[in-house]
Amino acid sequence: MRATSPATCSWWTAARRSRRPSATPAAPEVSAARLRSLTPHTVRTRLATRPIQLFCSLLCLLSLAANASAQPIQLWGRWEHSFRAPATATPDTELTVELTSPSGRFVTVAGFWDGGATWRVRFMPAEPGTWRYRTRSIPPVDGLDGRRGEFVCEHATGRTRFLQHGPVRVSANGRFFEHADGTPFFWLGDTVWYGAILSAKVDWNAYLADRARKGFSVVHFNAVAPRNGVPADGNGEVSFAGADQLQPPGSLLSRLATAPLQLLGLKKQDRVRMNPRFYRRLDERVDAVNSHGLLAAIVLTWGLRPVDSGNALPETEVVRLIRYLESRYGANHVVWIVTGDHPYEGFSGERWKRIARAAFGGRAHAPVTTHPMGMRWPWERFRDEAWLDFIVYQSGHGDDADTLRWIHSGPPMQHWQDPPPRPIVNLEPPYEGHLGYQSGRPHSDYSTRRAIYWSLLNAPTAGVSYGAHGVWSWHTAIGSPPTDHPDTGVAKSWREALSLPGSTQMRYLGEFFGSIAWWTLRPDPKLLAEQPAGDDPARHISASRSEKGDLVVVYLPVGGSMRLKEGVVRDRQRAEWFDPRTGRRMTTSATQDQFQAPDQQDWVLLLNTK
């Protein structure tokens, strides 16, 4: 951090500019008049002021030394500064920092209380050069209010995709994600809801290294405890004080999560107080996500059960919690998931609209969405919500015909053209190893993979997420199911579940889509002359192509033959079969627009004009 240079440093600046070797200067001549002017009073005055001059010089030297040692902040990196307040300052004291960019643009960010007398501010500079700042606090507090300074941001080659290309945002056409420099970003997410909170540091890094090696680009996880299945973090800390007051009476546990707060038997409380010890531990986990080149998709609250923070806290406190998390992690490379596993219907839907508007409305922020319950599509009621940057859904863990039909031909396919355009991502297809709701059998790599490929072609391709049973819950209880989801089946430990075959197949998926202009794809069922299996939802063939028609991707869940309409296959268009199990490719050709898959397993047909 570079403090504002005081005027008393001008002599030092001049000295640095004129560093030239010179002979030893001669002693100055002193005139008689000069000697006569040195009265005893003058001598005493000058001797008295000498310590002040020396003190100012010392301050100047210390300031310059600090400036010299301060490291420039990398473009799209993180600038962080701490401020100390008197012991009388309360944790509710609000700190904001007004920054001025090198080009004169103004940005305001919120600081956060980090325990004791410490407040911090974190900021991601998006412009190289010298940034200046000043602070304000409400109420005005010494040490927090009126502080000024500056820091330098430089453009350097970064180690991760984010430092090379910038933070992730929604593209100008609203259909996919891209970096700040316009580089498309393919969402390939992994589900580890409880991992960041429960994991040991070394285990979390082992998990991230595995997922980065397999080509994942996103991990999504919760940032609040307690929640169902997670009473506290690995050190026994909870997110905020007062969590024990959020437990509704047992007789009301059967009430829907959509019930108003007063129906849950909760009293109107004082403001909850964040627990910095919990979040300092989480800081390391979030930073590690980014350092492995992965986007952190942070779930800010949870909304499944009445006792979950998103339902049990008053609206104003949910907003405070969200804003605290944004001020703490907004300078990381993140997207925000407002809450999870909620229906967003009726009263609850309107409540979450109000919360998100209050938390994110009217200002710039990282992309925001919220996570619905399985096979729910509340988004037609959210179309006009300005804070909603992208749409996610949960096709869930069912395995009957209705579930399969919902994935490839349901609301995502039916509504993707509704305005305004937004990226659409299946955040929760069936987890590999999770029991199917209807059959009671574990989902195989095939059933998980099938849902994922369907999900990439049922709307403009933006990305998809994967989940492994045992990883999502950070499971350690060998031989038992997750405690809060006993009907999901016995889970492998998180370490064993890392190696489920579907996770490696996601690497092949990422490599396949990374080799083509996936962001140009749009669903086009009319490419097919017919569905070979008729109405059988398990054999449904999904197809997408680019608006120019120079790129076609078709997914066949059970191999066999398939005929495209006349004119779909163009001259000089290369045709390949892609094996989603092994990543292998082989060239092929059509006979009268008909293609024959190599066998009866699932395959992807690629037509690409190079």
Does the structure show a pLDDT above 90 at 540? yes
Mean pLDDT of 268-292: 91
pLDDT at position 157? 83
Q: Which residue from 445, 463, 467 is spatially nearest to 581, judged by alpha carbons?
A: 445
Which CATH number is 44-156 given? 2.60.40.10
pLDDT at position 246? 54
pLDDT at position 533? 86
**Average pLDDT of the chain to the nearest whole number:** 88
What's the angle, vertex CA 521, arms to CA 579 and CA 390, rounded to 5?
A: 110
pLDDT at position 228? 75
Q: Which neighbouring-strand residues pair with 219?
A: 190, 296
165-247+295-522, CATH topology level: TIM Barrel (3.20.20)
pLDDT at position 70? 72
Q: Are 79 and 128 in contact (CB under 8 A)?
A: no
pLDDT at position 245? 46
pLDDT at position 48? 47
Which of 240-254, 307-321, 450-464 has the lowest average pLDDT? 240-254
User: How many CA atoms, within 13 angstroms, populate the side-chain half-sphere of residue 539?
Assistant: 13
User: pLDDT band at 25, cuts 50/70/90?
Assistant: very low
CA 409 to chain centre: 29
Q: Does residue 253 or residue 406 have the better pLDDT? A: 406
Domain 44-156 matches domain 165-247+295-522 at the CATH topology level = no
pLDDT at position 53? 56
Q: How far apart are CA 521 and CA 519, in angstroms?
A: 6
pLDDT at position 51? 52
Q: What is the pLDDT of residues 405-450, one digit of tens each?
A: 999 999 999 999 999 999 999 999 999 999 999 999 999 999 999 9
Report helix, strand or coil for 414: helix
The H-or-E segment that residue 195 falls in is helix 195-198
Q: Which amino acid is at 485?
A: H
User: pLDDT band at 273, cuts 50/70/90?
Assistant: very high
User: How much is the pTM?
Assistant: 0.87
Mean pLDDT of 250-272: 44
pLDDT at position 50? 55
pLDDT at position 270? 64
Q: How far apart are CA 272 and CA 222, in angstroms?
A: 19
Q: Does residue 186 or residue 271 have the better pLDDT? A: 186
Which of 237-246, 269-278, 380-389, 551-560 has the lowest average pLDDT? 237-246
Q: What is the pLDDT of residues 486-517, one digit of tens each?
A: 999 999 999 999 999 999 999 999 999 999 99
DSSP string, 296-357: EEEE----SSTTSHHHHS-HHHHHHHHHHHHHHHTTSSEEEE--SSB---HHHHHHHHHHHH
pLDDT at position 532? 92
CA distances from 260 to 163, 270, 551 (A): 44, 18, 50
Q: Does residue 470 or residue 54 have the better pLDDT? A: 470
Q: How far apart are CA 390 and CA 410, in angstroms?
A: 18
Q: Where are the domains of the chain?
A: 44-156, 165-247+295-522, 524-608
Q: What is the pLDDT of residues 117-130, one digit of tens each?
A: 999 999 999 999 99
Q: How far apart are CA 290 and CA 334, in angstroms?
A: 9
Q: What is the pLDDT of residues 113-166, one digit of tens each?
A: 999 999 999 999 999 999 999 999 999 999 999 999 999 999 988 899 999 999
User: pLDDT band at 35, cuts 50/70/90?
Assistant: very low
User: pLDDT band at 267, cuts 50/70/90?
Assistant: very low
Does the structure show a pLDDT above 60 at 260? no
Q: Does residue 470 or residue 15 have the better pLDDT? A: 470
Residue 165's φ and ψ, nearest 5 degrees, are: -120, -10
Q: How far apart are CA 568 and CA 435, in angstroms?
A: 40
CA distances from 515 to 165, 275, 544 (A): 18, 45, 16
Does the structure show a pLDDT above 80 at 67? no
pLDDT at position 606? 98
Which of 48-62, 312-326, 336-350, 565-579 has the lowest average pLDDT? 48-62
